[in-house]
């Protein structure tokens, strides 16, 4: 319960609250505009200061404004009938000032600020303390399941009871950018449902997002074609690893020969010489054929042919002519004999050259074969090094394929596993809602009854659905969306949370609504909302604080039996003049 809000700022207007309905009025001057940028009456600022004292972020707190951060704001809170006064300033927002003895009675261990001689606890400790006192969270949370991410948190839950600007968009969201898991987990806790189910669903959602990002990166070329399918990668992995093993075996049998290059060059030279012998043999054979043909054709002319020629012309050869003919004949036979002898010598030389070439070729072929047999499976050192480099390259490629294959297996397995997890979690969620039907019925009946009291011409209800994505909380009021219907839906959920958490002793016993909640709401519904808030606060022995402009409050059709002024706080704000606001001065 909130007892008072004060400050050491001299001009600050202290606000003292009581049990039940508390109405903080602000007088609005005719000249003030809807889009005024300067701090005016301070209705929203009061809500902001309370939130600041309840451990809210300093970065967005009005108390940390340059014009205010030198001052300390104080709040008196009551827990189980015992009050504690705390202070916090914009200059040192990480420190919560406390009374040493009082803090110790609540289980807090304050430290002494030697510069100011004040005792304090850290804001983190203060939030854990409030989480324990207001929502039955563990204190401290370190070492418990609540220390993990995606678990219920004090700051998220208190925001449903102290809504600020940005929290009037929809009932289940207390901030414009509140994550889905955050609303699901914290509302489940507040409504008495199993919050560990949306907690587990969020972990599945995170794994799904990682899977999507990885696939998107692969498809979009951000990391290349890292991922494939198991089916298409399997044969590539098998072939790549087989090539690596083959080359590794070849290397194991490889012999390094120091004179490999000389021997390889000798084998090459032998081959060239053998080819030259083969080419020369062709020429020699052609020459031999020609010589043998000439040898056969080389014969002396017959003398009978000469005799026949002379008779044919009718001339008788004289004896001297015949003798000379014999001499010519002998001469010609000598020439032919010498020619044939020369041809025989050339033929023998050619045959000898062919024979020598064949013999030389046989010797060379044997030498070359011996060299090749010796070099088989061997090589120079640089060849061995090149093979090692090739093996390393193939091994890296095979390893990369193997990793891609494993990644593909993981992704396909992960996808299947996530689908199974979602199905199982949805079933758990359905079973939990069925098992906690009585608790859900209380929320449904409370909100349904509130809608009936707020509207005589509309019906509506509270729906909690078990979906694949987690629990969905929706309040629907039939009819058009005019007349501030969405704001009334927020009011109904907040009031239900105030009532239900008080019954289970897991709530703050106070609810604060800024006047912005009722912007655009018909004054009849505002009147009924205040009455419902009062009735709920009275029933649970809690508080319902509303800030509202005095002109609107004066027009509200409240029942005659309700003493309006009894619920109006003594502090009254105004946007008219420099001193009428909460802080007693204006600042941009």
Distances (CA, A) of 470 to 149, 258, 425, 512: 17, 74, 8, 28
> How many CB atoms lie under 10 A from the CB of residue 333?
13
The angle formed by the CA atoms of residues 444, 445 and 450, to the nearest 5 degrees, is 100
Q: Kindly tell me if the per-residue pLDDT of 131 is higher than 50.
A: yes
What confidence tens digit (pLDDT) does each residue in 39-72 have?
567 899 999 999 999 999 998 899 999 999 999 9
Instruction: Pick 404 or 554 by higher pLDDT.
Output: 554
Distances (CA, A) of 146 to 108, 253, 256: 20, 63, 67
Mean pLDDT to the nearest integer, 378-396? 71
pLDDT of residue 105: 93
pLDDT of residue 247: 73
Beta strand residue intervals within 114-214, DSSP E: 118-122
> pLDDT band for position 403 (50/70/90)?
confident
Q: Which residues contact 531 (CB under 8 A, 6 or more apart)?
A: 558, 559, 562
Q: Kindly tell me if the per-residue pLDDT of 314 is higher than 80.
A: no
**Residue 525's closest CA among 443, 460, 440, 444?**
460
Check if the beta carbon of residue 319 is closer than 8 Å to that of residue 327.
no
Distances (CA, A) of 77 to 52, 118, 485: 13, 19, 33
Give, to the nearest 10 degrees, the angle between helix 303-312 and helix 319-375: 140
pLDDT of residue 223: 41
pLDDT of residue 541: 96
Alpha helices for 14-58 (secondary structure H)? 43-53
Tokens describing residue 120? 């304090």
> pLDDT band for position 221 (50/70/90)?
very low
Q: Kindly tell me if the per-residue pLDDT of 413 is higher than 80.
A: no
What confidence tens digit (pLDDT) does each residue in 202-215 have?
999 988 888 777 76
pLDDT of residue 256: 55
What confidence tens digit (pLDDT) does each residue in 245-278 have?
887 886 676 655 556 566 666 777 888 888 898 8
3-state SS, residue 75: strand
3-state SS, residue 382: helix
> pLDDT band for position 554 (50/70/90)?
very high
Q: Kindly tell me if the per-residue pLDDT of 194 is higher than 70.
A: yes
The angle formed by the CA atoms of residues 410, 411 and 417, to the nearest 5 degrees, is 85
What percent of the chain stands above pLDDT 70? Answer: 83
pLDDT of residue 399: 84
pLDDT of residue 311: 58
Check if the beta carbon of residue 48 is closer than 8 Å to that of residue 581.
no
Q: Which residues contact 506 (CB under 8 A, 6 or more apart)?
A: 135, 136, 189, 190, 192
3-state SS, residue 74: strand
Tokens 């990682």 belong to residue: 210
Of the candidate ranges 93-97, 177-181, 211-215, the one whose mean pLDDT is the lowest: 211-215
CA distance 527 to 334: 158
Instruction: Pick 143 or 46 by higher pLDDT.
Output: 46
Q: Kindly tell me if the per-residue pLDDT of 381 is higher than 70.
A: no
> How many CB atoms lie under 10 A from the CB of residue 41?
26
Tokens 């209380």 belong to residue: 442
Check if the beta carbon of residue 178 is closer than 8 Å to that of residue 402.
no
543 class by beta-carbon count within 10 Å (0-12 exposed, 13-18 middle, 19+ buried) = buried
Of the candidate ranges 130-134, 226-230, 371-375, the one whose mean pLDDT is the lowest: 226-230
Q: Kindly tell me if the per-residue pLDDT of 110 is higher than 90.
A: yes
Q: Kindly tell me if the per-residue pLDDT of 415 is higher than 80.
A: no
Q: Kindly tell me if the per-residue pLDDT of 315 is higher than 60.
A: no
pLDDT of residue 35: 47
Which residues are 12's β-sheet partners?
Answer: none
pLDDT of residue 244: 83
Of the candidate ranges 123-137, 300-314, 459-473, the one whose mean pLDDT is the lowest: 300-314
3-state SS, residue 542: coil
Of the candidate ranges 290-294, 488-492, 512-516, the one whose mean pLDDT is the lowest: 290-294
Q: Is the pTM of this model over 0.85?
A: no
The secondary structure element, H or E, covering residue 29 is none
Check if the beta carbon of residue 514 is closer than 8 Å to that of residue 482.
no
CA distance 426 to 198: 9
Helix-, strand-, coil-residue percentages of the chain, each rounded to 5: 55, 15, 30
**Residue 174's closest CA among 164, 186, 184, 188?**
164
Mean pLDDT to the nearest integer, 546-566? 93
pLDDT of residue 467: 94
Of the candidate ranges 95-109, 161-175, 361-375, 456-470, the one whose mean pLDDT is the lowest: 361-375
Which residues are 173's β-sheet partners?
Answer: 170
pLDDT of residue 273: 84
82-96, 318-332, 353-367 — most confident range: 82-96
Mean pLDDT to the nearest integer, 576-585? 86
Q: Kindly tell me if the per-residue pLDDT of 487 is higher than 50.
A: yes
CA distance 384 to 390: 10
**DSSP string for residues in 4-20:** EEEESSTT---EE--SE
What confidence tens digit (pLDDT) does each residue in 450-474 have?
999 999 888 899 999 999 999 999 9
Count the alpha carbons within 13 Å of 285 in the hemisphere toward its beta carbon. 9
Give, to the nearest 10 degrees, the angle between helix 485-503 and helix 523-540: 10
Cα dihedral sign, 63-550-523-448 = positive
Of the candidate ranges 208-212, 417-421, 503-507, the one whose mean pLDDT is the lowest: 208-212
Mean pLDDT to the nearest integer, 121-150? 92
3-state SS, residue 256: strand
Count the alpha carbons within 13 Å of 38 in the hemisphere toward its beta carbon. 14
> pLDDT band for position 222 (50/70/90)?
very low
Check if the beta carbon of residue 75 is closer than 8 Å to that of residue 93.
no
Tokens 């204190």 belong to residue: 139
pLDDT of residue 419: 86
3-state SS, residue 22: strand
Tokens describing residue 92? 């040192």
What confidence tens digit (pLDDT) does each residue in 509-526 have?
999 999 899 988 999 999
């Amino acid at each position: 319960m909130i007892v008072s809000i004060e400050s050491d700022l001299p001009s600050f207007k202290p606000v003292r609250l009581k049990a039940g309905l508390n109405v903080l009025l602000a007088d609005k001057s005719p000249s003030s505009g809807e889009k005024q940028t300067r701090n005016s009456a301070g209705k929203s600022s009061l809500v902001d200061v309370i939130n600041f004292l309840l451990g809210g972020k300093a970065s967005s707190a009005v108390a940390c404004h340059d014009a205010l951060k030198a001052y300390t704001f104080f709040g008196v809170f009551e827990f189980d009938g015992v009050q504690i006064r705390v202070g916090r300033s914009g200059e040192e927002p990480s420190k919560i000032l406390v009374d040493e003895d009082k803090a110790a009675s609540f289980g807090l261990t304050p430290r002494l600020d030697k510069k100011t001689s004040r005792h304090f606890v850290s804001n983190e400790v203060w939030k854990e303390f409030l989480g324990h006192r207001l929502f039955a969270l563990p204190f401290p949370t370190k070492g418990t399941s609540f220390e993990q991410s995606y678990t219920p948190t004090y700051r998220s839950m208190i925001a449903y009871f102290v809504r600020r600007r940005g929290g009037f968009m929809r009932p289940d969201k207390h901030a414009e950018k509140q994550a889905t898991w955050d609303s699901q987990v914290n509302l489940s806790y507040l409504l008495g449902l199993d919050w560990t189910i949306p907690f587990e669903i969020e972990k599945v959602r995170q794994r799904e997002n990682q899977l999507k990002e990885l696939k998107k990166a692969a498809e979009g070329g951000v990391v290349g074609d890292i991922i494939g399918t198991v089916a298409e990668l399997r044969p590539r992995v098998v072939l790549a690893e087989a090539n690596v093993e083959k080359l590794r075996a070849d290397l194991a049998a490889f012999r390094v020969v120091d004179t490999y290059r000389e021997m390889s060059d000798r084998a090459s030279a032998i081959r060239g010489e053998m080819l030259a012998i083969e080419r020369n043999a062709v020429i020699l054979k052609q020459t031999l054929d020609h010589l043998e043909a000439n040898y056969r054709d080389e014969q002396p002319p017959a003398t009978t042919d000469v005799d026949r020629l002379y008779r044919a012309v009718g001339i008788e050869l004289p004896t001297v002519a015949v003798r000379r003919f014999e001499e010519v004949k002998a001469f010609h036979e000598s020439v032919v004999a010498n020619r044939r002898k020369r041809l025989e010598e050339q033929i023998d030389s050619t045959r000898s050259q062919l024979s020598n070439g064949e013999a030389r070729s046989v010797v060379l072929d044997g030498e070359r074969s011996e060299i090749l047999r010796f070099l088989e499976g061997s090589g120079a050192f640089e060849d061995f090094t090149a093979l090692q480099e090739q093996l390393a390259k193939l091994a890296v490629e095979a390893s990369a394929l193997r990793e891609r294959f494993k990644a593909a297996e993981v992704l396909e397995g992960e996808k299947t596993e996530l689908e199974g997890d979602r199905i199982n979690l949805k079933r758990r969620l359905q079973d939990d809602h069925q098992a906690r039907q009585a608790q859900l019925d209380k929320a449904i009946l409370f909100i349904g009854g509130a809608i009936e009291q707020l509207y005589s011409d509309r019906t509506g209800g509270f729906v909690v659905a078990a979906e694949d994505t987690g629990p969905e909380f929706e309040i629907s009021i039939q009819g058009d969306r005019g007349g501030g219907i969405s704001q009334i839906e927020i009011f109904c959920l907040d009031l239900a949370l105030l009532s239900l958490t008080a019954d289970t002793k897991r709530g703050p016993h106070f609810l604060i609504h800024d006047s912005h909640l009722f912007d655009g709401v018909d004054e009849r519904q505002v009147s009924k909302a205040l009455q419902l808030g009062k009735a709920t606060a009275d029933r649970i022995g809690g508080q319902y604080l509303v800030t509202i402009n005095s002109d609107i409050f004066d027009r509200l059709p409240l029942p005659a039996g309700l003493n309006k002024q009894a619920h109006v706080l003594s502090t009254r704000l105004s946007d008219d003049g420099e001193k009428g606001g909460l802080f007693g001065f204006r600042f941009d």
